[in-house]
Amino acid sequence: MIELNPILTKGKIVEVNDTAVKVDVQGRLGVICVPLRWVFTDKKLEAGQMVQFYFSYMQTI
């Protein structure tokens, strides 16, 4: 079994709407879209802001 460890990853917000935020992941890893309730900040979210988050590969079971 392979042990998966999350790593701190950076990205740039490309879109914010009423329910979600879309982030272009640094390093050409693609785009991730997450619900706003997953974002913990006191700042107003805007396109162009840099963000950090923990990311891990998915494993099928």
Strand 50-55: give its sheet, edge to edge. Answer: 30-35, 20-25, 7-16, 50-55
pLDDT score, position 8:
94
pLDDT score, position 55:
86
DSSP string of 1-61, one letter each residue: -PPP--EEEEEEEEEE-SSEEEEEETTTTEEEEEEGGG---SSPP-TT-EEEEEE------
pLDDT score, position 11:
96
Domain ranges of the chain: 7-55
CATH number of 7-55: 2.40.50
Segment 3-61, tens digit of pLDDT: 888 999 999 999 999 999 999 999 888 999 999 999 999 999 999 999 999 988 877 88
CA distance 38 to 49: 16
pLDDT score, position 3:
80
Contact (CB, 8 A) for 21 and 36: yes
